[in-house]
């Protein structure tokens, strides 16, 4: 899931705030679960993402090579020694043992023992790039994308990485492969990338004609396809001449042939989005956690936290989900 565009702008503001124990919920809630704050990180840098391999095993990543791990669904979190001090921006685990992280200074880490130890790769190419998102379809086939418009692909679980031509010059903010052949990605400035041959060839489309709202310009932050036909893109709103901006969700129901905007109550930034079926989805936003029960036709806050910035969200099924804020507050959703 994800990524954060406005976080760098609001970071100084967040130095003075913390997590809230109790939250307010506005609008209809169409699920039977609830969100609870389960962890508060100590000072020492910001967080950028999380991932769960199953209901118990999860990881959270952040600045200064910071990696947290839980083996009991988030009740307890322990620090793992990454061996690096770079900012880590993306994480994915294929199972409870094998996973990868990516970050600044051209750094990709891999583990085969659940994060007890990490092996680091620095692929050939731009040494200053930061890997912003990754997607794996199994233990061997995966892709990572970066802020220099690059896409790298591995077929051996991250031992070697080869470059793919994205066809864009913009920073690529998210990537998701549905299988070894078909994948999607987003880049800033409303660019959508699509491949049907494992990334050997990418086509791009710029969605500049959608109705994002009067006076509002958006950048794309994350993409999620539930199946081959139905997909959603989260956005951050950039505005200059409007007092009431809207960060919309862009969606397709015909495999990307047509796209439309779904309004949301979030004004500034939706940083990550995920769905557990064709109707029920969640999004991590600047002001809280949004939920839809009708494929995005309506979005409402299920959890509202106005003093922090949610940067990532992860669900393993419709009853078990987690979300993390920029300051390292982790919330858990437990459904009945």
Q: Are 141 and 180 in contact (CB under 8 A)?
A: yes
pLDDT of residue 19: 62
The answer to whether residue 157 sits within a structural domain is yes
Higher-confidence residue: 224 or 11?
224
- Please report whether residue 174 resides in a domain: yes
Segment 33-50 shows an average pLDDT of 92
Answer yes or no: is 106 within a domain.
Answer: yes
Contact yes or no for 281/232 (Cβ under 8 A): yes
Q: Please give the Cα distance from 80 to 61 (Å, whole number).
A: 10
- Which secondary structure element, helix H or strand E, spans residue 7, and what is its range? helix 7-14
> What pLDDT is recorded for position 235?
98
In DSSP terms, 321 is beta-bridged to 315, 333
- pLDDT surpasses 60 at 7: no
| DSSP 8-state assignment for residue 157 | T
For the stretch 158-168, pLDDT in tens is: 999 999 999 99
Nearest to 52 by CA among 63, 32, 38, 42: 38
Query: For 242-294, what is each residue's pLDDT tens digit?
Result: 777 889 999 999 999 999 999 999 999 999 999 999 999 999 999 999 999 99
Q: What is the pLDDT of residues 62-86, one digit of tens each?
A: 999 999 999 999 999 999 999 999 9
Domain membership of residue 52 (yes or no) is yes
CA distance 245 to 265: 10
Is residue 1 in a domain?
A: no
What is the pLDDT at residue 17? Answer: 44
Overall number of domains in the chain: 1
Give residue for tokens 């993306």: 90
- For residue 206, name the pLDDT band (cuts at 50, 70, 90): very high
Report the predicted TM-score, pTM, of the whole model to 2 decimal places.
Answer: 0.92
Question: Over pLDDT 90: what percentage of the chain?
Answer: 84
Q: Which domain holds residue 243?
A: 7-16+38-334
CATH number of the domain to which 152 belongs: 2.130.10.10
Tokens standing for residue 12? 């100084």
């Amino acid at each position: 899931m994800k990524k954060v565009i406005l976080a760098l702008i609001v970071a100084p503001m967040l130095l003075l705030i913390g997590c809230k124990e109790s939250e307010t919920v506005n609008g209809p809630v169409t699920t039977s679960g609830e969100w609870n704050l389960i962890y508060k990180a100590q000072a020492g840098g910001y967080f950028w993402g999380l991932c769960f391999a199953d209901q118990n095993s999860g990881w959270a990543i952040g600045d200064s090579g910071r990696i947290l791990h839980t083996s009991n669904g988030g009740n307890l979190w322990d620090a793992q020694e990454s061996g690096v001090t770079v900012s880590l921006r993306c994480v994915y685990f294929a199972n409870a043992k094998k996973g990868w992280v990516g970050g600044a200074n051209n750094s990709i880490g891999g583990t085969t023992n659940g994060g007890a130890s990490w092996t680091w790769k620095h692929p050939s190419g731009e040494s200053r790039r930061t890997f912003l998102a990754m997607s794996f379809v199994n233990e061997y086939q995966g892709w990572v994308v970066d802020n220099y418009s690059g896409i790298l692909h591995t077929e051996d679980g991250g031992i070697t990485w080869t470059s793919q031509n994205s066809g864009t010059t913009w920073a690529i903010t998210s990537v998701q492969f549905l299988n070894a052949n078909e994948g999607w990605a987003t880049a800033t400035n409303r660019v959508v990338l699509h491949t049907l041959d494992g990334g050997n060839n990418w086509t791009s489309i710029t969605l500049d004609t959608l109705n994002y709202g009067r006076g509002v310009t958006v950048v794309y932050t994350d993409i999620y396809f539930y199946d081959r036909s139905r997909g959603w893109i989260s956005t951050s709103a950039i505005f200059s001449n409007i007092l009431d901006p809207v960060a919309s969700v862009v969606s397709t129901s015909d495999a990307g042939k047509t796209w439309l905007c779904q309004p949301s109550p979030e004004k500034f930034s939706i940083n990550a989005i995920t769905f557990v079926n064709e109707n029920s989805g969640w999004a991590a936003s600047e002001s809280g956690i949004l939920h839809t029960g009708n494929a995005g036709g309506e979005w409402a806050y299920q959890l509202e936290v106005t003093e922090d910035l949610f940067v990532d969200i992860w669900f393993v099924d419709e009853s078990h989900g987690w979300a993390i804020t920029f300051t390292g507050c982790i919330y858990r959703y437990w459904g009945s």
